[in-house]
Each structure stands twice: as structure tokens, then as C-alpha cells.
Structure 1
Amino acid sequence: MDHRSARARLPLLILVRVHPPPSPPSGAIPVSRFRFRIWRLPVAVLLAVGCLAGPVSAPAAAGNSGAAGHDDALRERIEELVRAPGGPPGVIAVLQRRGKTELYRAGVSELGTHRRPQPTDHMRIASTAKAFSGAVALQLVDRGRLGLDDTIGERLPALPEAWHAVTLRQLLNHTSGLPDYTRDADFLAILNADPRHHFDSRRLLDFVADEPLAFPPGSQYQYSNSDNIAVALMAEAVTGRRYEELLRRTVYRPLGLRSTSLPQGFLIPEPYLHGYEVDPPNPPEDVSTVLSASGVWASGGIVSTPRDLTKFIRAYAGGDLISKPTRNQQRQWRVGASEPAGPGVNATGLAIFRYTTRCGVVYGHTGNFPGYTQLMAATPDGERSLTFSITTQVNKDNKPELLAELRSVQEDFICALLRR
């Protein structure tokens, strides 16, 4: 990593090559430009994997050629993603409507194998984890333990006085103005020296404690990883319980999420989707376990599976976890795109985004992390859902053309979800 001044903070992408990297991207968890080699996969693993794609679902009913045609079109779209320059080695999409699940897969879960991505494969869910911290906080609002207008000064008085006027509502919809700790020069220097460094997750905001707010709270939208760290700390402050325990009590257990966790280390439970840095003409490099999750924590450290994400987003978008009055507060929309941008026109609510596509509206969240890009979305009633996972990091700065294609493919899947 180039050691730059604290004023020269840029969004970053993990690269594990010694030659100069491309322009730095932004994302749910920007990571430093590592100037050392981790390991390199042999050229032999660059296999043609697009031929392994295909939906797994009940056969189309006789005479229902339209549905079969949509299946073929969706399959071709994800095959194109895998074949695209810089595209992911693996893609898995799960569409669910009421009792029917359709599974679409392209590529492989690990290069050098023929194993296809599975709905039970673990993966880093990146900033879709912010919806989980939203679920915890909004349930505490329902129980009267927190208020949406509670301030940092009231709940976390040890944080900088300059931040004290920021409310829980502003943290949840990214209008707080909190400086983003993941862009701090000292934080990035530690990652450069030791990518698997174990951070004290509850002290991550210390990296920017000497900085003022970027703007007056509530005056504008700016996505910041610091926001959800503060949300988790507020939840801990009013309950006296660790955030990990709150997740288990209020989200995992009620929804039956048996394969979801918030680890502190760099390992991922087996089996898992391997995430890759893909930068042609160089061979893809496996970055699945390069980083410790302790440096992202409530902002993006959760590990889950497509199956569990499907359960979560159906309940979360459908309002099953919170009361109607709180849900109405959550769904007060303002201009703001998720990171990376989701399909269609984006708007932000409280720890949830609205995606208005050409075929209709879904609610959800996106995320990107070295090796992974995620979308989870569901209809406002939670009856129909889509989770869409690819095994490389894509955002507006590192791969803008591929992001545009990814958003187009995601919109096609949402149209299929809403059409049937």
C-alpha cells in the first residue's frame, strides 16, 4: 500500500499482485492495495466454467413455453457474467415465491474443481450485513429500548462530542455524516502490514475519533461503514449484551438461520464459495480468507449462505421482524444508492433500500467485499425473494462496465420473480 496522508483517503480494493493495480474502487468494505503476493493459482485452473450453468427447479408445465423461455434467458445471462472479462468464477441465484424455489448456477464454487455453487455454501455477505444490524436496532425500537431519535450523545457519550447530535435514524439511513473509518490511513496501514490483524471491533471508530462530521446530520446522504458500527454499539449500550448475542436472540434463532455467524477471524466454515480477485490477463487469485472479519464487524463481517439469506430477506423486507409503525418509519425513502448500486432506481430507508425496476419494486440490500458481491431482495410483503451472489468484487470504481451488466442481469431476475 502507498502510505498516504490522512487527507488522501481513497476507496480501495484488495489486490494481491506486486505489479501496479488498477484505479482504486469503493465498496462496502474498501480494502488497501496490498503490495505483496499472497499466493497465485496455477494457470491450469482457468477453465471454461460457463458450461456448468443451469436452473434447478421443477420442470416447466407442458405447454408453458414462455416460462421455459425465461429460464433459458436467465441461464444465459449468468453464463455471460462468468464469461465476461473480469467476471466471477461462480454465480448462484435463488428465486423463491411462496412454496417454489428456483436455483440458477453458473461456473464453479472453487476453481480447479467441478463443484457447482450450492445454496448451503457459506460466503461473506459484505454490506448486506447492515440489514442485520438494522433488524436488531429496529426490534429494540419496538421494545422501547431505543428510539429512532436517540442520539450518540445520549447512548454513546464516550464518542466524540462533535458527533453527539447524530441520531439512530441518521445512522440507519446513512445521513449521519460520520467519517468512514475504513478510509483512515492508520486503519489501512495496519491492514497493509497484516491483512489478518485482529482488530478490537468495538474500537473501530477510534480511527476517526479526531475527525469532525462530514456534514450536518440529516442534511445529505453519504454511505459510511462507520454508521453500522455505531448502531451495534448503541444496541449493546442499551441491552448490556454483546452484538453477536443480540443477533442470535433476535435474528438467527427466530428465523432458523443455522448457517449464519459473525466471526472475528479470517476463516469461513466449510463448505464455502471461494471468492476471487479477477484481473485479466492474470489468473484469478483466491482471496476468500485474506482478511480478518474483525475489521468490518457489524458493517459487513457476517458469513451466511444463499439459503439463510433467502429466509432473512423474506422476513426483513416483509416486515415480519418489526411492528407496522416501525416498519412505516423504516420505509420513509430518500435518494441514496446502496454500495454497490442495486438494480433499477435506488432509494434508502432505514437499513434497507428500495429498488424500483422496470417490472416493479423490491426491498433489500447489496454489498461487496474482496471476492464477493451480493444482492438480497424481496417484495414488500415478503412473498417473493431473490438472492444473487457472485464470487468476485464488483463496484462502480473497480469494474464499472461489469457492474452495469450485473445490475441489468439482476433486474432481469427481478422481472422474472415479479412476473410469474
Structure 2
Amino acid sequence: MGRYRTPTVLAAASLLLTALCAGQAPAAAPPGRIDIDPVIAEQLDDAITAAMRKADIPGVGIGLWIDGEDPYVRAFGTSDKATGVPIKTDMHTRVGSVTKTFTITGVLQLVDEGKVRLDAPISTYLDGVPGGDKITVRQLAEMRSGLYDYTQDPRMLAAYQADPQREWSPQELLDIAFRHPANFPPDARWEYSNTNTVLLGLLVEKVGGQPLHTYLEQHVLAPADLNSTSLPTGSEIASPFVHGYTNFTPDGATVDASTWNPSWAWAAGAVISTIDDLHSWVPTLVTGKLPDGDRLLEPGTQAQRLRMLPTGHPGVGYGLGIAEIDGWIGHNGELPGYETIAVRLPQDRATLVIVVNTDVDGKFGNLSSLIATTVTKIVTPEHVWGLPSAAQPNGVPEPSASSTPAPNPKPSS
């Protein structure tokens, strides 16, 4: 739900991404079960590397874990085109809109503490939101507020493209959004907007009494044992890290964006993590239970989180900062140089994490979706990752291009 497409769009968070095939599907596992035996593993290896060659993807990190079974964890290609250092699954990467799952977990924890009410207007907690007396906290988390997505603003995109090291404050981002009228009345329909999650980040800060990065570290990341996950306060990224490649540049040249400042995405798309941490996080996100068995959220709150509402796109539902795509529950993300998918298929007890270090999608569409579709065609043929093209998150048009706003924004996530 939050993605950033170089040729046409920039979005700070991405969840609904176009699902494309990698050509003819290899032999699939029997429907209804996942069994990654050596034959299936070899088919996955061959299919993923073929898709990488076809789409010119520098590196892919992937993990597929089935509870109680041997996992399929691989890294293909390079993390750094300048040095040829191979990509590894413990490397840090920018996860884009997967960030929303952490921010909104913080909101829901405050709900459990009785400090925030999901159905209270956002004006109860924050001033200055146009129509804020009619937009609820729940509608922000469900992407049903109607507020304009600041990452769709051509001037914002032009400024970011001209200076990717620029530091953006949350209020600057909201000021951009609020210069535009709302796209529809609250709860009239679903539309992905990074503005919603920036507001929720400020809500956590005000009610939680701490900067967002500190609150998440103490209340979400540490309890979940996510030692390699953080919300940066600048352009820093911990080593070792995956270099990400983008062509969101004035001349369209492909460059290394790994040290670009993600502050424009902030609560909606700036988190850094690893495949290993995301493997641990996704089951916690989907069940509400921590690895030690304690609860991250109360059962009733978790149930509300997982109440998937229609988005207007077949096979795609959205809850409270979490999505369901053909049975896979979690989130995806895209920002300049990076694409991520972190999802779980509960009925098969399967967790899938994919990291791709380029967002130069070209004719193949979203590249993380390309890999996810390739993998799920083989291992979960009854639950193939896929979205209609109309559902792909076309966040923000480039300054020189026009695009139809889609459910997701995109300079990050």
C-alpha cells in the first residue's frame, strides 16, 4: 500500500502493488499444501533468477517460512553494484509502507491503554486538520478519511527530486496535503493516503508523550525483539545495508538512493529493517501475539485490526494499517531504490518476506510483486499474489508526468 514508481509515481508507502507474472509458471506444488522439498526449492531458485534477469533486478532477498517445516531462505544477486558485494538476508533495508504496520500498532496500543478512542474524531487529539471533527482515528487507519495524499503533489515531488537529502518535517507534509481539498467525505470509500499515517504518527507522539521513533522502539520494536529495526531520524542506515537503485532523478539516470533522506515518508514509510526481523514481525502483526506468548494487542483490538473492508479492487481488503491480498495478510512498501513485501498466509502457517533493491519497474511493473507472483504460483497456487492493474498504488506523479491517483502513494514504502 504505499509505493513509489519511478517513471510515473512517487509514494511514501506501498501496500497494494501490481502483481505480474514472471512468464510461464513452473510446476506447482499440489493445491492446499506447502512442501518445499529440494525439487520445489530448485524450481524457486530457477524461477526467481530468471525473473531477475528478465527485469534487470540487481538483488533479491527472500524468505518463506512454514511453521514446523524447513524454511526457504535465499539471497540472489548483489547488494552493491559498485563493489559486487552479494546481498544477504541480514542486511538492513528500507521497507517503505511496511512502516505503517508499526505506526498503527503504536496507535492501537494507546487504544488498549484507554488513551485513544478509535471512533473519536482526530480533532479530539490534534488541531488543524480540515474537517477533523468528522474524521475518526479509525478512518485514518483504514485509509477512508478522504484526505489528499501529499505525495501526489507535483511541487512536493519536484522538490524531493531536486534535493533527495532534504529534511521534511511532519507539519510540512501536512501543510502540503491540506492545501488541497479532500477527495471525498470521510468513510465514503477507500483511498490510500500517506497523509493519514503521518497524522497518526503525530497522534502517537502527542498522546504517547515521546518522539515517534522512541515510542516505537520502547513499545513495539523492543517487546517484539526486533533489534535490527528502527525509525531513523535522518538519512542514516545501519551497516551492513542493501544499496537501493532508482531512476527518480531529473534526467532519469539510475543512481544509488540508499542514503537519501526518508523524512518525507516518516510514519508512513521510513522504517529500516532486515529480512530476519520482518520474518519475526509478520506473525506478531497478524496474530497480535509476541514471540514469548504475551500479547502485543488485546484480542478485541487485534480483531478490529483484522476486519478487512473492501477497497474496490477484487481480492484486496484493508484493515487498520494492514492489508489482505488473495489471502496473504500484511503490507508491502516501496520508496526510491527499495521494494518490500512482508505477509503471512494464516491457513498455511506461511510467512513470506521479499526485498528487492530497485524500484526501476519498467515494463514489468512492480518488481517485488513480480517476485511474489513467481514464488506463490509455485508454492501456493490457490493463493497467488496478484492485483488488478487498477489497484496498483500509483502514489504521486513525477513533476513532468501525469498519472491517475491510485490507492497508494510512493516516494517511500
- Check whether TM > 0.5: yes
Stretches of structure 1 that go unaligned for 5 or more consecutive residues are 1-10, 15-21, 31-64
Amino acid at match of 2:145: S
- Name 1:415's counterpart in structure 2: 380
- Name 2:280's counterpart in structure 1: 311
1:379 to 337, 341, 345: 345
Q: Does 1:335 align with 2:310?
A: yes
Aligned residue pair count: 352
Q: Residues 413 and 362 (structure 1 numbering): CA distance in 2 closer, same or farther, change over 3 Å?
A: farther
Q: Once the two structures are aligned, what percentage of the paired residues are identical? A: 29
For the 8 Å contact 2:48–2:375, the answer to whether it is kept is no
Amino acid at match of 1:333: M
Task: Give 1:163 deviation, angstroms.
Answer: 3.4
Task: Give 1:417 deviation, angstroms.
Answer: 12
Q: Residues 197 and 167 (structure 1 numbering): CA distance in 2 closer, same or farther, change over 3 Å?
A: same
Q: Does 1:68 align with 2:41?
A: no
Q: Does 1:351 align with 2:351?
A: no
Amino acid at match of 1:175: R
Whole-angstrom CA distance in 2 between matches of 1:394 and 1:211? 29
2:190 to 221, 234, 256: 221
SS in structure 2 of the partner of residue 314 of structure 1: helix
Q: Residues 284 and 383 (structure 1 numbering): CA distance in 2 closer, same or farther, change over 3 Å?
A: same
For the 8 Å contact 2:4–2:359, the answer to whether it is kept is no
Q: Does 1:151 align with 2:121?
A: yes
Whole-angstrom CA distance in 1 between matches of 2:36 and 2:67? 20
1:117 to 87, 98, 101: 87
Amino acid at match of 1:108: T
Q: Does 1:168 align with 2:137?
A: yes
Whole-angstrom CA distance in 1 between matches of 2:54 and 2:111? 45
- TM alignment of 1:8-407, pairs within 5 A: 13-14=5-6, 22=7, 24-25=8-9, 27-29=11-13, 67-85=37-55, 87-98=56-67, 100-160=70-130, 162-277=131-246, 284-289=254-259, 291-320=260-289, 321-336=296-311, 345-356=315-326, 361-380=327-346, 383-393=349-359, 399-400=364-365, 405-407=370-372
Whole-angstrom CA distance in 1 between matches of 2:59 and 2:105? 29
Q: Residues 284 and 239 (structure 1 numbering): CA distance in 2 closer, same or farther, change over 3 Å?
A: closer
* TM-score of the pair, normalised by structure 2: 0.77
For the 8 Å contact 1:96–1:386, the answer to whether it is kept is yes
* TM-score of the pair, normalised by structure 1: 0.76
Q: Residues 296 and 405 (structure 1 numbering): CA distance in 2 closer, same or farther, change over 3 Å?
A: closer
Amino acid at match of 1:190: A
- Name 1:62's counterpart in structure 2: none
Task: Give 1:401 deviation, angstroms.
Answer: 7.5
Whole-angstrom CA distance in 2 between matches of 1:405 and 1:363? 18
Which one has the largest radius of gyration? 1
For the 8 Å contact 1:315–1:382, the answer to whether it is kept is no
Task: Give 1:407 deviation, angstroms.
Answer: 4.3
Q: Residues 167 and 347 (structure 1 numbering): CA distance in 2 closer, same or farther, change over 3 Å?
A: same
